[in-house]
Amino acid sequence: MDTYLQQITSFLTNLKTFPVISAVLIMAVFAVIAKISVTSLGRMIKSFCSGEKTDLGEKLRQIIHYPIWATFLLFGVVVTFRWLNLFASYQFAILGILRTIILLVVALTLTEVHAPEKSIVEYQGVSGQTSLILTLQI
């Protein structure tokens, strides 16, 4: 077991000498993580909404599919820049821009979920009473 871990460690250490290959490898790992996350989250939503007579689960899966992919791939780019120390003099600015893009992707997703014209849950007051009306206008 020790020799196996030593081989992996030496492989990763030597991989820094080939920045293009290591960047592609890091991005591939994050793409696989994104695919696993999207698939597992989609299955959880599908099982959670299986008894529903609406297509709420499918709409939620459509809403979160792109942001999960984009977030994990941007995290892969951030890890690539930090691990390979690419553009060291501009690294602070590049990482700041990438983190801002990640936050924008997450914020736009939350806005898409909570947008008034695309609301999932709507509250309506009826003669002094508040009732909950589910609207599926996504």
pLDDT band at 74 (very low <50, low <70, confident <90, very high): confident
In 49-90, which residue ranges form alpha helices assigned H by DSSP?
A: 56-84
Range in 38-42, 71-75, 126-130 with the lowest mean pLDDT: 126-130
Instruction: Please check the confidence at residue 131 and state whether its pLDDT lies above 80.
Output: no
- Give the pLDDT score at 32: 93
pLDDT band at 79 (very low <50, low <70, confident <90, very high): confident
- Give the pLDDT score at 57: 76
- Give the pLDDT score at 138: 42
Share of the chain above pLDDT 90, in %: 6
Q: What is the pTM of this model?
A: 0.64
Amino acid at 69: W
Q: Under a CB-based contact definition with an 8 Å cutoff, are residues 22 and 16 in contact? A: yes
Question: What Cα–Cα distance (Å) separates residue 57 from each residue in 19, 35, 52, 117?
Answer: 41, 18, 8, 18
